[in-house]
Amino acid sequence: MIKTLAIVVATTLLTATAWAEDAPKRPWAQQGDGPVVTFGAGLMGLGGQTGAAALEAEWRGPALWWRLKPELGLEVTSRGGADLWAGLAADIPVFGGWYLVPGVAPSAYAHGGGRNLGSAFELRDSLALEYRLDNDCRFGVEGAYLSNLGLGDRDPGTESAMLTLTLPLGWHSAAAR
């Protein structure tokens, strides 16, 4: 499982790097399609479950096609749990400075002292609502759900909720534009 996830992560990073170098040749590339890093703080285990404080870091690469971006992230909890994922997300402008960011990714989950989800393999579905500031930084809220899709011994699933800060890579130069 870990070997497979490592291959997925390496492939995602190599593909994103190649596309980043080729960005000016992509006619669909738009402002905000560059790579970003997101930091989040919140809770994992909602809805009557034994919850835990959680921290998250996520990298979203440059747009590969339309607004689809590769994503790579890690969430850790105060109970020693961790979730590592690599998948796809989309930055979709909806109105004003607001963006919807849906994502889906296979992930490797270790429950530590937290909730046993029945398998180390999980599927992470997420949806964020972010507001973009003039300097291209974004503040937002994110909800995510982990499930092993019934592939494990059991599949209780779990949710997480985060407050997020998203920074474009190279954001310090945004004010100079």
Euclidean distance between CA atoms 142 and 40, whole angstroms: 8
What CATH number is given to the structural domain containing 16? Answer: 2.40.160.20
The residue behind tokens 């989040």 is 40
Q: What is the pTM of this model?
A: 0.77
In the chain, how many domains are there? 1
Question: The domain containing residue 156 runs over which residues?
Answer: 2-170
Q: What's the chain's Rg over C-alpha atoms?
A: 16
Q: Per this entry, what is the length of the chain? A: 177
Q: What is the pLDDT of residue 113?
A: 80
Count the helices and strands in the chain (H runs, E runs): 1, 9
Q: Which of 30, 71, 45 is nearest to 156 (CA)?
A: 45
Q: Between residues 146 and 28, which one has the greater pLDDT? A: 146
With respect to residue 175, please indicate whether it lies within any of the assigned structural domains: no
Which pLDDT tens digit goes with each residue over 10-69? 555 544 444 444 444 444 444 556 889 999 999 998 766 678 899 999 999 988 887 889
pLDDT in tens, 68-127: 899 999 999 999 999 999 999 998 999 989 999 999 999 999 988 877 787 889 999 999
108 closest CA partner among 145, 71, 69, 82:
82
